[in-house]
Amino acid sequence: MSFNNKSMKMKFKIAIGAFLLYSSIQAQEVTVKVSGGQSGILYESSLGNGDIKFGGGVGVGYTFFLNNHWGINTGVDILYNQNSFKLNEGTMITSNEVDDQMSAFEYRVTPKNYQEKQHFVSFAVPVLLQYRASISKQSQWYAGIGGKVLFSGKQNIKASANELQLSGYYPDADLVVDDLPSHGFGTVSNWQDKTSVNLKTTFLASLETGISFKLKEKMQLYTGVFADYGFSDLVKNTENSNIVPYNPNGIENTQANGVSGNKMIVQKSNYFAAGIQIKLGFSMLAKPKGKAK
């Protein structure tokens, strides 16, 4: 038993030593990055139109090159993302509510020129398989493919509408109430409010490609393009969340809920980003002998 333990310890030390020796003869690189382009949520909606706006990011990366051509890239990126969303004119959003007399009714919100400006900050951790090949003595073509884990903060929303018509339909009495402001029914003009919603962690498929240029010994400039796409919804939504909540105490302080929390409005909310990126790479150790071809 003692012999086996000594043998296992010796094998472990040999394995660690071999790994450190292998690492020491491979090229490793640290990069700093800036990126810009479309960056936000790709909405699928039957009741409105969502647009991805300009966003950008900065990041720090680390690449361990397995040989002259292949490497593994990871790091962390900080991203700023923007969206806009506009409801189709004439859209009525309904939800089931209970009034201050404990009577159930259908809450109806009919906005005019309803739109939202949205933004959020996220963090991405990439794991990409990178390939590179020489174009000339001073330049290389590179490509990376893999995935990222996206951790997002809250989505901040600024909502506005020229008008909100707030009414209640009581099916038991077949009655529509639309002019009791003190009980939450009436018309609000020139309305605006701010709110935020939680976003979920998601996995991204990621692709990048471009050309790198040797600036000096152990320093490379990378220029290229990238694209990221999320596999799942960023927003957790339900079918019974109206764009503004019912307030039985009056319509003066009507608050925003946002469109992304309502599944009837937004059917899908996948992350998407595409644009250009510039990286500055610093080689940490000597490169392997030979040149990439």
Q: Tokens 């490793």 sit at which residue?
A: 28
Cα 103 → chain centroid: 41
- Confidence (pLDDT) at 166: 97
Q: The domain containing residue 38 runs over which residues? A: 25-283
- Confidence (pLDDT) at 241: 84
Structural domain contains residue 292: no
Structural domain contains residue 19: no
Number of domains observed in the structure of the chain:
1
Structural domain contains residue 15: no
Instruction: Give the closest residue to 172 by CA, choosing from 99, 280, 66, 77.
Output: 99
* CATH code of the domain in which 81 resides: 2.40.160.20
| pLDDT block averages, 10 residues each, the chain of length 293 | 51 48 64 97 95 97 93 96 96 92 94 97 97 93 97 96 97 93 95 95 97 92 97 84 92 92 91 97 64 44
Structural domain contains residue 215: yes
Structural domain contains residue 18: no
Structural domain contains residue 13: no
Alpha carbons within 13 angstroms on the beta-carbon side of residue 205 total 4
Structural domain contains residue 274: yes
Structural domain contains residue 4: no
